[in-house]
Amino acid sequence: MQTLKISLAQLNYHTGNFELNTSKIIQQILLAKSEGADLIVFSELCVCGYPPRDFLEFKDFIHRCTLSVNAIAEACVGIAAIIGSPTINPKFEGKDLFNSAYFLADGKVKHVTHKTLLPNYDIFDEYRYFEPNTVFEIIEYKGCRIALTICEDLWNINDNPMYIKNPMDELIKQHPDVMVNIAASPFSKSQIENRRQVMIDNVKKYQIPLFYVNHIGAQTQLIFDGDSMVVDKDANLHSQLNSFTEDSGLYELNISDKSVKTLHQQKQKNASTSIENIRAALVLGIKEYFRKQGFQKAILGLSGGIDSAVVLILAIEALGKENVRVVLMPSRYSSQHSVDDALLMAKNLGVQYDIISIEETFNALEKTLAPQFGKLPFSVAEENMQSRSRGIILMAMCNKFGYILLNTSNKSELAVGYGTLYGDMCGGISVIGDLYKTEVYKLVELINANEELIPNNIIVKAPSAELRHDQKDSDSLPDYDLLDKILFQYIEESKGPNEIIASGFDEALVIRILKLVNTNEYKRLQAPPILRVSQKSFGFGRRMPIVAKYLS
């Protein structure tokens, strides 16, 4: 019986950190070799990290990729490896680079496969940098014929194909024994199930097993869940690696009958719900942002509202309570129960806290601007002065003590412009900016499932910015249950006003909400990076004009 032992290496890479990435890859190669693996597979662009973005325009960056590939190749003696790296296009036409997969064996580069399908939607911009592949060749190794593809190359499998060609349609003509796909597929709340189905659908179509390896970790906004997997020839999910953590597995492929056997794999965690995955992703996103940037301590304003309460819990899970500090900043409009609830939560969780009233600061601003404002009535100007006073205090604490400010705005607020530039929109990273308010409440249910970490008073109170007497979000917005349904159709599903109205929503309300979304694009452009957990997050994946007239 002829077999091939294949190891999957699901690792956490750091973009541009060639020494770290190369060292991790080589260590995993040596470990897999000691376990008897014939071939070890790593993820897409693992050598340089994903996404490298405009680093790819630097010749030195590409040169360092090449040096790393050569160093990794030298370690591939007695074992083969598949790694991902950009390569130079030697031709005079087309883009300068390919997104490539190297096959390394006998201490050298044996084969290079280029990515064919280059995504250019949402967060992806690969056609900006890479030339698509036009040559399709399988790899032969130890009697096994390998069809090697890169991420998107397997995603053109649905009933409404995005591309005019399918790489596996070409490779299957050469009678491969197995598919190998290396990927950099970011997390979103629907991506895990979608991805598994895409891999299963490929096996159903081509009737050979599939070995798939994905990144884990996070690179600023993008979070990678891993979820590397093996799908057997009968399209069953034979094995999957643990999500949101580094992991590996060793499998034996029977080349003759295409069967797969697990030789070694860590214990699998129980399947997670969507909201559990979102929680894990956000915690990982915070942790990775701090670790990879060399930051240690976080600070946030704790208002007594649900959003800052959730961010505090996630920050503690990611960084430890000893590395999180909160500031309570009451004003004349703050309700006593909000101050009490925030204080109770800080004490219960054991985090360092400060109470700094903004009243003197606000009074000073009112006095300073009195000659200009005169007897004009109280307005959003005074509301924003309070928010910006808090922003100044938090940023001063950051500068003085080396903290990074965690932004606590949710997606519903960001969508309709219910945030103050240079005030509550300050921050180094936006933790829940891709969660609608209704999703924040679902996350609270999970957080409090076993213990009341967030006091019930915070959960049941009516949402309010508390910037004027008796203010409620519902004074100027519909209930979040209704608002979020309209926002979801417009933002996630790209439905126009007529489609949304036709689904049963009030015409005047829909037009008003959509106008708010469009006219506040300038605010979102200046917001901090948002941890992405949906398929349409605010940020570089959603490219809307600021100066435009569409429902404005």
Q: In this structure, what token pair is assigned to residue 259? A: 């069967």
Model pLDDT, residue 271: 64
Q: Are residues 208 and 337 in the same domain?
A: no
Give a yes or no: residue 211 inside a domain: yes
Model pLDDT, residue 369: 96
387-389-392 Cα angle (round to 5) = 115
Give a yes or no: residue 521 inside a domain: no
Q: Are residues 222 and 333 in the same domain?
A: no
Model pLDDT, residue 336: 85
Structural domain count of the chain: 2
Active site residue 499: no
Q: d(Cα 325, Cα 315) in Å, to the nearest integer?
A: 10
Model pLDDT, residue 552: 54
Q: Domain containing 216: what range?
A: 3-271
Q: Are residues 58 and 145 in the same domain?
A: yes
Q: Are residues 195 and 323 in the same domain?
A: no
Q: Are residues 83 and 193 in the same domain?
A: yes
- Please give the C-alpha separations between residue 77 and each of 32, 71, 290, 394, 433, in angstroms, as whole numbers: 12, 12, 37, 54, 47
Catalytic entry in 5, 24, 33, 115? 115
Domain containing residue 289: CATH number? 3.40.50.620
Active site residue 398: no
Domain containing residue 60: CATH number? 3.60.110.10
pLDDT in tens, 98-148: 999 999 999 999 999 999 999 998 999 999 999 999 999 999 999 999 999
Q: Are residues 264 and 283 in the same domain?
A: no
Active site residue 151: yes
Give a yes or no: residue 528 inside a domain: no
Q: Are residues 255 and 361 in the same domain?
A: no
Give a yes or no: residue 501 inside a domain: no
Please identify, among 242, 271, 300, the residue that sits at the C-terminal boundary of a domain: 271
Give a yes or no: residue 295 inside a domain: yes
Q: Are residues 88 and 200 in the same domain?
A: yes
Q: Are residues 357 and 418 in the same domain?
A: yes
Q: Are residues 226 and 120 in the same domain?
A: yes
Q: Are residues 376 and 265 in the same domain?
A: no
Catalytic entry in 44, 126, 317, 383? 44
Predicted TM-score (pTM) of this structure: 0.95
Please identify, among 455, 475, 495, the residue that sits at the C-terminal boundary of a domain: 475
Please identify, among 271, 302, 329, the residue that sits at the C-terminal boundary of a domain: 271
Q: d(Cα 137, Cα 116) in Å, to the nearest integer?
A: 12
Burial grade of 90 (CB within 10 A; 0-12, 13-18, 19 or more): exposed
| Contact (CB, 8 A) for 315 and 429 | no
Give a yes or no: residue 526 inside a domain: no
Catalytic entry in 48, 65, 76, 151? 151
If the chain, 552 residues long, is cut into consecutive pieces of 10 residues, what is the mean pLDDT of each piece? 95 98 98 97 98 96 98 98 97 92 98 96 93 96 97 88 91 98 96 94 97 97 97 96 96 96 82 90 98 96 95 98 97 83 93 96 95 93 94 97 97 96 96 97 96 92 75 80 97 95 96 95 95 93 85 62
Helix axes 437-447, 274-293, angle to 10 degrees: 90
Give a yes or no: residue 405 inside a domain: yes
Cβ-proximal residues to 353 (8 Å cutoff; 6+ apart), any chain: 302, 325, 326, 327, 328, 343, 346, 347
Q: Which of 150, 159, 128 is nearest to 56 (CA)?
A: 128
